């Protein structure tokens, strides 16, 4: 083989496709470099000559130092890899390279120079790097994927949170909107409106779009100034309520509630405004009513269906002597006298059938044991469904009225009594005169005596009624019972009536052999009254039928006429004292409205009953019942 000459070798090294650089082993200065190296490090030959290796290759890896040291010591280090910055087309580029340090020895074996080979990395190296980069990339990718997944999860959470937030806001709005007559505001620590909702929002002059996110001073500085101290109070943690009356007349109740976070720090203020106009008006109305009740002269009392007192006004305190404190929660029986305790259940049963109890005259007991005459008006208290939940009772003290009545009765009694004596003698004189004149030639005198006799009887009957009524009122109407034949008595009364009454046609049927045990005179007055009414209230020429019927132990007597009849509305009252039916017809018929009242009282005191059936313009039938004497109980 032929060895190339020195010149040839020099040219080969100079143009070799690897970077070659020769260092002086002691000074470490560069002595020579080939063209490829200059290109690799982008320098000119003059830049390198005499320069220290370390100065030029500052970017060499720290491993170079030990590899270089080994080469100086005459040993060969394995290839070392590194990178260099290369300027290509004016751009910095990092070039992966391998440095190979070779010691160059003289013939004595001393290292005089170091040859440095700078090899650009081969495909292998690049592949390796690429693989490493790829690996790194894969790892990064994995990390990226994981991060992505996390991001997706976070996103989902975020979406969910957003959805929850949306739902809570919707819930807040629908709650706020559905509280009738309300406005709900939330302000943050700086008084800025966070939320506003409510069905009276517009009426109160708020518009959500103008308010949410805004500061009150931006909207209405005056309004803000007026309510600023309230915002400050609530945000300082105070919970309170105030009442306001609007210029337009509405009343508002405003609650201020501090809203705290988990650390118990006030974050915002909740302001709830409620329209309480209706409640206020109702309060005012009930205050007025309460004032009326309190100032009334009548005792106004309410009680439960179990007769427990629930309210007791000032007049009740004055009238009965018990204070509200003493009576509320107590039974009303406390003021009902012993002998009238059964009135309460009777009143209750009447109210239960929907009846009202008006002007029921009775007596009540005061705390100090006095008996008061009272007139009671009792009405049911109903709930919205019409169910009776209690009773209200108005009691009027009628003691004065009763005393007045008593004086009147006493007067009637006294006058009647005084009239009776002269009337009796007058009647006796008339009867004697009538007998004497019966045969007289003078027809006028005999007729006049007859008429005088009739009028004296009528007057006696009237005076008797007045006497009886005054006795009745005074509780002195005595019933003196004796057995007698009712049929016979009816016959006698009828005959006597027929002596004076010729205008009507009478009949008496099925009334024989009926013995009763009763007060004869008083029963006569009852029958006379029913017959005279039948005559009074039916036109001339009409039929009047008297009949009897047995019903168990009772005898029922009926008096039937074909007269004007009685309207159903009046029928329930004709047995009341002084009650008279007011019509154009009855106006001209004289009477006092005491006949049926007295009759009813007399029959009741015999353990019987009295009632009437009637049809307007057709006629009426009056009935009364009396126990038969055959019954051992009645003898
Ligand atoms: P009076 O003295 O007014 O007749 P009563 O107590 O006997 O008093 O009767 C009360 C009222 O009942 C009468 O005013 C009358 O309106 C009515 N009345 C009584 N009986 C009859 C009858 N047979 N027919 C129609 N109305 C009657």
Asked if residue 558 has its Cβ within 6 Å of ligand 1, the reply is no
The C-alpha atoms of residue 366 and residue 322 are separated, in whole angstroms, by 8
Q: Tell me the CA distances in angstroms from 519 to 308, 345, 608, 626, one per residue in order.
A: 44, 32, 13, 11
Query: At residue 257, does pLDDT exceed 50?
Result: yes
The Å distance, Cα 521 to ligand 1 centre, comes to: 21
Asked if residue 539 has its Cβ within 6 Å of ligand 1, the reply is no
Best residue among 581, 583, 599, 615 to mutate for probing ligand 1's pocket (most ligand atoms within 8 Å of CB) is 581
Nearest-CA residue for atom 12 of ligand 1: 574
Asked if residue 593 has its Cβ within 6 Å of ligand 1, the reply is yes
Nearest-CA residue for atom 8 of ligand 1: 593
The C-alpha atoms of residue 536 and residue 591 are separated, in whole angstroms, by 10
Asked if residue 534 has its Cβ within 6 Å of ligand 1, the reply is yes
The Å distance, Cα 593 to ligand 1 centre, comes to: 7
The C-alpha atoms of residue 434 and residue 450 are separated, in whole angstroms, by 6
> What pLDDT score was predicted for residue 63?
58
> What pLDDT score was predicted for residue 635?
45
431-449: per-residue pLDDT in tens?
888 888 877 788 888 888 8
Least Cα distance to 603 among 495, 477, 474, 497 occurs for 477
Residue 147's φ and ψ, nearest 5 degrees, are: -60, -40
Task: Give me the half-sphere count of Cα atoms (radius 13 Å) on the Cβ side of residue 139.
Answer: 5
308 CB-near residues (< 8 Å, 6+ apart): 329, 330, 331, 332
> What pLDDT score was predicted for residue 631?
47
Asked if residue 591 has its Cβ within 6 Å of ligand 1, the reply is yes
The C-alpha atoms of residue 304 and residue 201 are separated, in whole angstroms, by 43
Q: Per-residue pLDDT averaged across 106-134, rounded?
A: 70
Asked if residue 537 has its Cβ within 6 Å of ligand 1, the reply is yes
Asked if residue 533 has its Cβ within 6 Å of ligand 1, the reply is yes
466-504: per-residue pLDDT in tens?
888 888 877 778 899 999 999 999 999 999 899 888 899
CA angle at 486 for the pair 482 and 488, rounded to the nearest 5°: 110
Asked if residue 566 has its Cβ within 6 Å of ligand 1, the reply is yes
The C-alpha atoms of residue 622 and residue 600 are separated, in whole angstroms, by 11
CA angle at 301 for the pair 300 and 303, rounded to the nearest 5°: 160
Asked if residue 411 has its Cβ within 6 Å of ligand 1, the reply is no
- Contact (CB, 8 A) for 367 and 321: yes
63-92: per-residue pLDDT in tens?
567 777 787 887 766 555 555 555 555 566
Which sign does the torsion angle of CA 568, 569, 575, 578 carry?
A: negative
Least Cα distance to 102 among 93, 112, 94 occurs for 112
């Amino acid at each position: 083989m032929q060895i190339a000459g020195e010149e040839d070798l020099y040219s080969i090294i100079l143009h070799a496709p690897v970077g070659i650089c020769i260092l002086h082993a002691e000074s470490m200065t560069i002595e020579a470099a080939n063209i490829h190296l200059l290109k690799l490090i982008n320098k000119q030959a003059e830049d390198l000559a005499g320069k220290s290796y370390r100065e030029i290759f500052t970017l060499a890896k720290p491993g170079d130092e030990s590899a270089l040291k080994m080469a100086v010591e005459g040993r060969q280090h394995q290839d070392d890899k590194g990178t260099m910055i290369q300027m290509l087309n004016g751009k910095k580029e990092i070039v992966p390279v391998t440095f190979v340090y070779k010691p160059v020895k003289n013939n004595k074996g001393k290292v005089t120079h170091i040859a440095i080979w700078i090899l650009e990395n081969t495909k292998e190296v690049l592949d390796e790097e690429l693989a490493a980069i790829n690996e790194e990339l894969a790892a990064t990718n994995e990390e990226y994927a994981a991060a992505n997944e996390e991001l997706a999860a976070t996103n989902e959470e975020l979406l969910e949170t957003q959805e929850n937030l949306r739902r809570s806001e919707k819930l807040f709005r629908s709650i706020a909107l559905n509280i009738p007559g309300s406005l709900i505001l939330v302000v943050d620590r700086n008084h800025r409106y966070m939320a506003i909702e409510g069905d009276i929002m517009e009426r109160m002059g708020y518009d959500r779009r103008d308010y949410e996110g805004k500061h009150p001073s931006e909207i209405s500085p005056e309004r803000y100034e007026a309510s600023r101290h309230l915002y400050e109070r609530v945000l300082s943690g105070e919970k309170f309520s105030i009442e306001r009356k609007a210029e337009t007349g509405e009343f508002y109740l405003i609650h201020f509630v501090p809203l705290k976070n988990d650390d118990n720090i006030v974050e915002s203020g909740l302001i709830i405004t409620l329209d309480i106009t209706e409640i206020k008006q109702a309060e005012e109305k009930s205050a007025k009513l309460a004032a009326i009740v309190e100032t009334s002269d009548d005792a106004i009392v309410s009680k439960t269906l179990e007769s427990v007192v629930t309210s007791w006004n000032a007049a009740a305190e004055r009238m009965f002597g018990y204070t509200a404190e003493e009576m509320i929660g107590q039974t009303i029986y406390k003021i009902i006298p012993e002998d009238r305790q059964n009135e309460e259940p009777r009143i209750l049963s009447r109210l239960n059938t929907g009846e009202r109890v008006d002007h029921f005259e009775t007596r009540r007991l005061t705390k100090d044991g006095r008996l008061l005459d009272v007139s009671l008006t009792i009405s049911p208290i109903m709930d919205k469904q019409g169910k009776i939940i209690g009773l209200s009772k108005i009691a009027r003290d009628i003691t004065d009225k009763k005393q007045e009545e008593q004086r009147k009765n006493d007067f009637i009694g006294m006058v009647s009594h005084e009239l009776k004596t002269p009337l009796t003698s007058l009647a006796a004189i008339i009867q004697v005169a009538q007998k004497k004149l019966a045969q007289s030639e003078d027809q006028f005198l005999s007729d006049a005596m007859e008429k005088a006799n009739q009028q004296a009887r009528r007057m006696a009957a009237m005076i008797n009624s007045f006497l009886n009524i005054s006795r009745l009122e005074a509780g002195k109407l005595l019933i003196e019972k004796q057995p007698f034949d009712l049929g016979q008595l009816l016959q006698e009364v009828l005959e006597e009536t027929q002596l004076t009454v010729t205008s009507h046609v009478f009949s008496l049927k099925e009334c024989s052999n009926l013995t009763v045990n009763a007060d004869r005179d008083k029963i006569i007055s009852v029958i006379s009254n029913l017959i005279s009414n039948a005559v009074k209230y039916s036109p001339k020429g009409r039929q009047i039928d008297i009949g009897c019927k047995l019903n168990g132990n009772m005898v029922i007597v009926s008096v039937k006429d074909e007269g004007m009849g009685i309207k159903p509305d009046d029928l329930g009252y004709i047995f009341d004292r002084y009650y008279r039916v007011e019509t154009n017809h009855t106006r001209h018929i004289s009477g006092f409205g005491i006949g049926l009242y007295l009759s009813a009282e007399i029959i009741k005191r015999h353990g019987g009953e009295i009632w009437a059936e009637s049809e307007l313009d057709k006629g009426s039938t009056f009935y009364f019942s009396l126990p038969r004497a055959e019954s051992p109980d009645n003898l």
